[in-house]
Amino acid sequence: MFSASTLFITGTDTGVGKSLFSAILALSFFNQGKKVCISKPIQTGSPKDTDLLAELTGNKIPNFNTYSFSLPAAPVVSAKQENKEISIEKIISDIKSLEEKYDCVIVEGIGGIAVPITEIRDQRSEIRENSHLPSPISHLYLVADLIKDLNYPVVIVASPLLGTLNHSVLTIEFAKQKRLNILGFVISGYNEVSSDPVIKTSPDVISEITKIKCLMKVPMVKKMSFESINLISKSIAFEEINVLT
Ligand SMILES: Nc1ncnc2c1ncn2[C@@H]1O[C@H](COP(=O)(O)OP(=O)(O)O)[C@@H](O)[C@H]1O
Ligand SMILES: [Mg+2]
């Protein structure tokens, strides 16, 4: 058994700040002297998240990827377009092998937790036996199934903007239904001085409905750059970050 700290970063949608938060977190661990890496097991479309993650972390944090597809769509769709097969076993073994070499392994998910990765009809039978399937959409293996099979605690990144209550509550309740270990949610793009009642109240309302903690409000950055992200990572209190390890 390896004692690496492991985390899965998912979101309420694509484009909510998963890469940004993964980079902030990785830099916080790095700044504490930990050996940390990021895995983006599947990416679709371009620009590639692996390039973005390298840029946002100032090339200080290694990142790893198993599958890259050019069509910006759910992996099940993108892989089919290229006549490729996605092996869940390969993804899991690639990620688990990182636990041997790093103190912290941060996995950035793909879109949200109900995104289909592959059809499981053709996958080896033990994957089905070992997982908690059948899921409600039983012939498809979802991001939530991967989180469950990895057995990694999960953090959900959400937006502070109008629509977030619906997206966040649905995501958190689906995660509960899948019996995931939810550490909490993070609001990305929070403006402390905003007078918008939606922004001001959304973290508390999500917590009130779901009984899940808001772990962090990531401020709005003017530019997605290593400098701005490193600054945020340095401002994170150790207590905040240690909840996640
Ligand atoms: N804290 C933030 N400050 C400013 N922009 C943000 C923030 N969080 C998310 N965004 C916006 O969301 C976009 C997508 O962020 P990204 O981390 O790539 O999302 P994901 O990985 O979930 O697809 C960014 O390019 C940026 O415009
Ligand atoms: Mg991303």
Report pLDDT digits (tens) over 92-106: 999 999 999 999 999
Cα of 84 from ligand 1 centre, angstroms: 29
pLDDT band at 2 (very low <50, low <70, confident <90, very high): very low
Q: What is the DSSP letter of 221?
A: P
pTM, 2 dp: 0.93
**pLDDT digit string (tens) for 12-71?**
999 999 999 999 999 999 998 999 999 999 999 999 999 999 999 999 999 999 999 999
Q: Give the residue numbers spanning the domain of 139.
A: 5-242
Distance CA 120, CA 117 (A): 9
Number of domains in the chain: 1
| CA of 14 relative to ligand 2 center, distance in Å | 7
Give me the CATH number covering residue 126: 3.40.50.300
**Token reading at 193:** 């001085």
Is the alpha carbon torsion for 222, 224, 230, 232 positive or negative?
A: positive
Q: Measured between alpha carbons, how far is 144 from 12 in angstroms, rounded to an integer?
A: 12
- What distance in angstroms lies between residue 9's CA and the mean position of ligand 1's atoms? 13
Rounded to an integer, what distance in angstroms lies between the CA atom of residue 176 and that of residue 173?
5
Could you say which of 18, 34, 40, 217 is catalytic?
A: 40
217 an active-site residue? no
Torsion angle, CA of 27/33/35/36, rounded to 10 degrees? -20
Does residue 134 carry a pLDDT above 70? no
pLDDT-derived band at 236 (thresholds 50, 70, 90) equals confident
**Residues near ligand 1 with C-beta < 6 Å?**
11, 14-20, 188-189, 218, 220-221, 224
